[in-house]
Amino acid sequence: MTASVEYIPVTPIEYPEEDGKPMAEGDLQRKYLVYATNVLEIYFQNRPHVYVSGNLFVYYEEGNPESVVAPDVFVVFGVDNKERRSYKTWQEQDKTPDFVLEITSKSTRSKDQGAKKGIYAFLEVREYFQYDPTGDYLTPQLQGLRLVEGNYFPVATNTLPDGTFSLLSEVLGLELRLDEGKLRFYDSVTGRKLLTHEEEVAAREAAEEAQQQAEQRAQRLAAKLRELNIDPDNL
């Protein structure tokens, strides 16, 4: 007689993709979260093994959905640049974020300075930056930490000749600057400011309009010279 074995189905572990909370405390926090994610996606768009995301759950222990953190903005090197609903490290060759930026607010300040800082050090996040768009919770508004032998140490600050406050991200190869209190990313080699898609369109339109105005001025000048019987080509 063969003994029967009762089959007990195994309930799959769920890893939620959202917590039902808003992506940011206020308009300013949301604005800079979107800005930073957007310009970094554009900057790394031609590098297939650099992943940029923001406000996404990062799970770092398989089988334990409580082991999760949601950086405002993060960059991972060495993984595919593709869309994800959440980031599970065990599905990504155990790669954790290399760079994290938190947009600090009243409700997140204690976590950003405490629990998240500890988690990021544990995950060996090489650089951890914080930015306070209102200037109410961090002094200075922009701060950076770099991981050295398991501990975070402040990134050296730099004041440019025009008074701009900047920090160098060695991981990204970019400078994070405060332009009149506003966070902006710059290429550390060329000094070029990174633009969002909307800013690129606006800059291109402004350049085209300036060119048209210059051509119209040249045409008016040439017409005026002809009225005076002066050949513009002889000038």
pLDDT of residue 2: 57
The answer on pLDDT for 36 being more than 70 is yes
Quote the CA–CA distance of 195 and 42 in Å, as a whole number: 8
Q: For the chain, what are the domain ranges?
A: 27-194, 199-234
Alpha-carbon distances, residue 60 vs 13, 122, 146, 231 (angstroms)? 14, 10, 20, 75
For position 213, what pLDDT does the model report? 64
Q: What's the pLDDT score for residue 153?
A: 97
Contact 137, 105 (CB under 8 A): yes
pLDDT of residue 80: 97
What digits encode the pLDDT tens for the residues 171-194? Answer: 999 999 998 889 999 999 999 999
Second-level CATH architecture of 27-194 = Alpha-Beta Complex (3.90)
Please check the confidence at residue 201 and state whether its pLDDT lies above 60.
no
Q: What is the pLDDT of residue 47?
A: 95
Give the torsion through C-alpha atoms of 170, 147, 145, 23, to 10 deg: 90
- Residue 30 clears pLDDT 70, i.e. is over it: yes
Q: Which residue has the higher pLDDT, 64 or 207?
A: 64
pLDDT of 22 above 60: no
Report the mean per-residue pLDDT for the chain: 85
- Distances in whole angstroms, Cα of residue 150 to Cα of each of 67, 94, 166: 19, 17, 25
Q: Are 140 and 165 in contact (CB under 8 A)?
A: yes
- Bigger pLDDT: 146 vs 139: 146
> Does residue 205 register a pLDDT over 90?
no
